[in-house]
Amino acid sequence: MRVELKNIAKVTINPSKRRKGGTYYYAWRGGPRLRGEPGSPEFMKSYNEAVEELRTPDKSRFRSLIALYKASTDYRSLAKSTQRNWSGWLDRVAEHFGDLRIGQFDRPEKIRPIIRQWRNKWSDRPRTADYGMQVLSRVLSYAVDPLGKIASNPCEGIKRLYSGDRSDIIWTDADIAEFKAVASLQAGWAVDLAAHTGLRLGDLIRLSWSHVEADAIVLRTGKSRQRREVIVPLYDELRAVLARIPKVATTVLVNGQRKPWTEDGLKTAIQRAKVAAKWADKDLHFHDLRGTAATRFYVAGLNVRVVAEIMGWEEETVEKIIRRYVGRNAATRAVIAQLNQARKGT
């Protein structure tokens, strides 16, 4: 008699120079790998063991930390899009590290080579490898505090594979004009607002007219889980941008149906405009508009404290972030402007 097992995950890997191909079965997505052929006594035994472990999880295994993290307020407070992206990576982490004992992660000199080996599976895609490391590191940080399961995070000290420096990559006025020429009116408003405020995409789509006060935009950022407040002064150019946007909803930005943007919806509209503008060879991301805003603030002569308040950055790290986002030429022009102004005052 053949028993139909629910939720079995089947994974087929095509053979390549890098790895051996084959078909593998898992008790569920992200669950333990099953032994033997489907229907065999060995297969059934390993499935039953996996189900029993799920009912009474071994709290000494790393898999239990992933379950605790998924149930935590830290994970649930992430943006829905981030949770979707991280979910698959948490499955990969569970598949590779789940059966290890938690205590093994308290021996950095032993576990780091294993972590590096896992990361190097995506060495040909450095950003992907670093993204996976980010997810693993977050779980381990949660194990350190608040769980207190391990003393330190062994991911710390492992260098990133991707070393791209975007400090000189900003949207110029010409880039913005070129984008708006082919973009929808609503996507153009989003780019304008990002370039003049430095707000992240997630904060822009939830920005409401109630956040626009008499002299400033005041908003608690989603990135800080509402703990940090951004204050963007309403200077003339920003007032002009807001004046061009009709008030047809509670949110400042809306899509073509006059409804608030979703994050995926705005990203799709921006990507379509970049394709229409034939930007295949132009490496500009929406996030680089933060660099555009930071450049404008810095060139205007604003000091570190003021830029930190506007951008919602930590004051003690704002210098490093400015070096990352503000091009050297822009910084040089800012110094020249300040020196010239000082000379005029003498």
In this prediction the pTM is 0.55
Separation of alpha carbons 143 and 19, rounded Å:
32
Residues 198, 250, single domain; the answer is yes
Domain contains 166? no
pLDDT of residue 109: 92
Residues 207, 300, single domain; the answer is yes
Q: The tokens 């400033």 sit on which residue?
A: 216
Domain contains 168? no
Closest CA to 227 of 68, 77, 95: 77
Dihedral of the alpha carbons of 290, 268, 189, 230, in degrees to the nearest 10: -40
pLDDT of residue 163: 65
Count Cβ atoms below 10 Å from residue 225 Cβ, excluding itself: 12
Residues 81, 224, single domain; the answer is no
Residues 2, 12, single domain; the answer is yes
Residues 153, 198, single domain; the answer is no
Residues 216, 235, single domain; the answer is yes
Cα angle 60, 66, 68; round to 5: 80
C-alpha distance from residue 307 to each of 83, 168, 236 (Å): 30, 18, 17
CATH of the domain at 118: 1.10.150
pLDDT of residue 182: 96
| 180 Cβ contact partners less than 8 Å away, ≥ 6 residues apart | 188, 191, 192
Per-residue pLDDT of the chain (346 residues; tens, 9 = 90+): 455 677 788 888 777 655 567 788 888 776 778 888 888 888 888 888 777 666 555 688 898 999 899 888 888 888 777 888 898 899 899 989 998 999 999 999 999 999 999 999 998 888 899 999 999 999 999 999 999 999 999 998 888 887 665 655 788 889 999 999 999 999 999 999 999 999 999 999 999 999 999 999 999 876 655 567 888 999 899 999 999 999 999 999 999 999 999 998 999 999 999 999 999 778 788 988 988 888 788 777 788 888 877 876 677 767 766 776 676 666 666 677 777 777 776 5
Separation of alpha carbons 326 and 322, rounded Å:
5
DSSP letters of 286-339? Answer: GGGHHHHHHHHHHHTT--HHHHHHHHT--GGGHHHHHHHHS-HHHHHHHHHHHH
DSSP 35: P
Domains contained in the chain, number = 3
pLDDT of residue 25: 85
DSSP 32: P
pLDDT of residue 325: 66
pLDDT of residue 199: 92
Residues 142, 79, single domain; the answer is yes
C-alpha distance from residue 186 to each of 182, 203, 257, 258, 292 (Å): 12, 16, 10, 9, 19
For 104, the domain range is 58-157
pLDDT of residue 181: 96
Residues 244, 268, single domain; the answer is yes
Residues 319, 254, single domain; the answer is yes
Q: Which of 131, 157, 183 is the last residue of a domain?
A: 157
Residues 99, 241, single domain; the answer is no
Domain contains 164? no
Residues 196, 330, single domain; the answer is yes
